[in-house]
Amino acid sequence: MKTLFCLRLFAAACGLLTCLVVYPTGSETRAAGAGKRMQGTFLQLANENGTWPIEKWMELFDNFRELGLSQLVVQWTVNDGIAFYPSASGETIATPPLKTILRLADEAHMQVYVGLVFDSGFWKMAGGAPADIDSYFRELLGRSAATAKELMPLVREHPSFKGWYVVQEVEDTTWSSSEKQQLLVSYLRNLSAFLHAITPDARVAISGFSNGTGDPKALANFWNALLHEVPFVSSVFFQDGIGTGHLNMANLPQYLAAMKDTLAANGREYQTIVEIFRQTSDSKAEGAQFRAVPAPLDQILDQLRLAAAFSSETLAFSVPEYMSSLAGPAAKKLYQDYLAELHRSSAEDNSADTESLNLKQ
């Protein structure tokens, strides 16, 4: 809702690929080289999803199966007042897709985090005066709690429901002042406590990123202070910042190490979000719309291997837009190339296992 690994060993094999590639099944994908695979993805719902026929959703989940994904984060269920589930309290998109998503996730044996309320003006608000931020968070808390309460009967029907995702992202520069940090902490503490109260068995996840303006130690101190105040947040997803250019492959390991150590010290689950896009829009331009294209495969493989060294699981941001058969030629090519890479790795692993067995005999 943001140690460079050399992969030259695979470069020589790239020329051996032909257009007749046999792609692995989901189970084969999961068995392929652990350092190259992602375990889940975000899904950003947009108005156009309200027009998707069931066949299109089924194709997307077929993509998820082929990629071996076991986790899905629905980034939000309300976007600027428009609900993606049948809401009795607000405007609902024409064909709300959340129930379909959860049903297909059930069938695919995936686990789903369900996001709550997103406002496109959030970051502009976050740059305002503390009094205005306080007022905003109070109102947002009410809307988010009401949304979760309304969603409860729906999500409880589905074994794929793993927990809640709090949409508002934690960034170490915007919230660096003690006054603003306390306002953010109060919002997260109150909302996560409410979510835990209504669904005690569900996890509560938040995400964050660094702009790279502070050092890793400062990042660790920031998150340590925050997590001390929000005991019901059980999972933290940290964006690697490569797609946006906030971080780079040279300094990213220090930030990931700081997050890993901090989350472990606080007893929380930690996952890295690998940005599989390359931002093409000017992030500093006032009012500029975000634009991006799929990142090169070699870069993504570097990111995945690095992420695997620090976190238990890796989430992509995000497969539907940048690595699927539904999102245009570039995304479809990346999807096919990534599957081919996993298939090649699986074949190499099987060959190595066979050779090892023969030597033992």
| Residue keyed to tokens 């989940």 | 61
pTM (2 d.p.): 0.88
Bin 270: left if φ > 0, else alpha if -120 < ψ < 50, else beta: beta
Contacts of 74 (CB under 8 A, 6+ apart): 43, 45, 98, 101, 112, 113, 114, 115, 165
Locate the domains of the chain by residue range. 8-356
- pLDDT at residue 312 in the model: 84
pLDDT at 22: 39
pLDDT of residue 4: 34
> Rounded to an integer, what distance in angstroms lies between the CA atom of residue 325 and that of residue 311?
28
Place of tokens 């070699």: 298
Res. 348 pLDDT band, cuts 50 70 90: confident
The pLDDT value given to residue 361: 58
Indicate if the pLDDT at residue 287 is higher than 70: no
Tell me, what's the pLDDT at 319?
98
Q: What is the pLDDT of residue 89?
A: 87
Nearest alpha carbon to residue 273 among 297, 247, 298: 247
Q: Are 307 and 317 in contact (CB under 8 A)?
A: no
pLDDT grade, residue 43 (50/70/90)? very high
Residue 332 has pLDDT above 50, yes or no: yes
- Using DSSP bridges, classify how beta strands 277-279 and 292-294 pair: parallel, antiparallel or unpaired: antiparallel
Mean predicted lDDT score pLDDT of the chain: 89
- Name the token pair of 243: 């797609």
Q: Which residue has the higher pLDDT, 11 or 306?
A: 306
**How large is the average pLDDT for residues 236-249?**
97
DSSP code of 249? Answer: T
How many CA within 13 A on the CB side of residue 104? 19
Give me the pLDDT at residue 196, please.
98
pLDDT at residue 322 is higher than 50: yes
Q: Are 29 and 67 in contact (CB under 8 A)?
A: yes
pLDDT of residue 20: 33
Q: What is the predicted pLDDT for the residue at 345? A: 87
pLDDT surpassing 80 at residue 304: yes
pLDDT score of 347: 79
Of residues 290 and 194, the one with the higher pLDDT is 194
Backbone phi, psi, residue 350, to 5°: -65, -40
Confidence tier at 34 by pLDDT (50, 70, 90): low
Q: Are 85 and 96 in contact (CB under 8 A)?
A: yes
- Mean pLDDT for the stretch of residues 132-144: 97
Pair of tokens at residue 195:
């979510």
- Per-residue tokens: 102: 């959860």
Tell me the per-residue pLDDT of 116-136, one tens digit each, with 9 for 90 and over: 999 999 999 999 999 999 999
Write down the pLDDT at residue 286: 61
Work out the end-to-end distance of the chain between its first and last CA atoms, rounded to an integer number of angstroms. 53
Report d(CA 326, CA 211) in Å as an integer: 31
Compute the average pLDDT of residues 278-283: 87
pLDDT value at residue 357: 55
List, in sequence order, every beta strand (DSSP E) within 166-233.
Answer: 170-171, 203-209
pLDDT at 23 over 60: no
**H/E element holding 41?**
strand 40-43
Give the model's pLDDT for residue 354.
58
CATH architecture of 8-356: Alpha-Beta Barrel (3.20)
Report percent pLDDT > 90 for the chain: 80
DSSP string, 64-97: HHHHT--EEEE--SEETTEESS--SSSEE-SS--
List pLDDT tens digits, range 57-70: 999 999 999 999 99
pLDDT score of 19 more than 80: no
Distance CA 198, CA 196 (A): 6
Flag the least confident range among 109-113, 150-154, 282-286, 300-304.
282-286
